[in-house]
Amino acid sequence: MTEATRIRLALVEDNPDVVRQVLQIVSDEFEIVGTFDGGEGVEAALARCEPDVIVLDITLPGQSGIAVASHLMKSGWPARIVMLTVHRDADYVRSSLAAGASGYVVKMRLSRDLERALKAAMAGERFVSPLPELNVE
């Protein structure tokens, strides 16, 4: 896969261990164009790296990932958003999807679900980690 055809991914996550895990599990289909550890001021940083998809933690210092996602979508951002979180709660799923996220991945399922969620988001589809407590249908 050439640089031109790789999907540009930005990661907004404040836990260094999770950042390392994401960097290890995403395939060569993805080019990591930036990693950021907080919600405050992240929009300007994202604008500079021009990602196709953003992996966004919900619980961030400065501003919640849901607030960041909502503002990005209202501003007309073309990037897809996949939320990455510890929250196993359908209310968070609903809030994330309402804010414009295409995916919702629970960190305990990171290695199984993240790449599936990223590919679904890029295909214009929705993905939620398949846990009974996250069913929002």
Of the listed ranges 9-13, 30-34, 40-44, the least confidently predicted one is: 40-44
Question: Coil, helix or strand for 84?
Answer: strand
Residue 102 and residue 83: Cα distance in Å, rounded? 8
pLDDT above 70 (res 85): yes
Q: Is the pLDDT of residue 59 over 60?
A: yes
What CATH number matches the domain at 3-127, 2.30.30.30, 3.30.460.20, 3.40.50.2300, 3.40.640.10? 3.40.50.2300
Instruction: Please name the amino acid found at residue 109.
Output: R
What does the CA dihedral 87, 117, 71, 63 come to, rounded to 10 degrees? 40
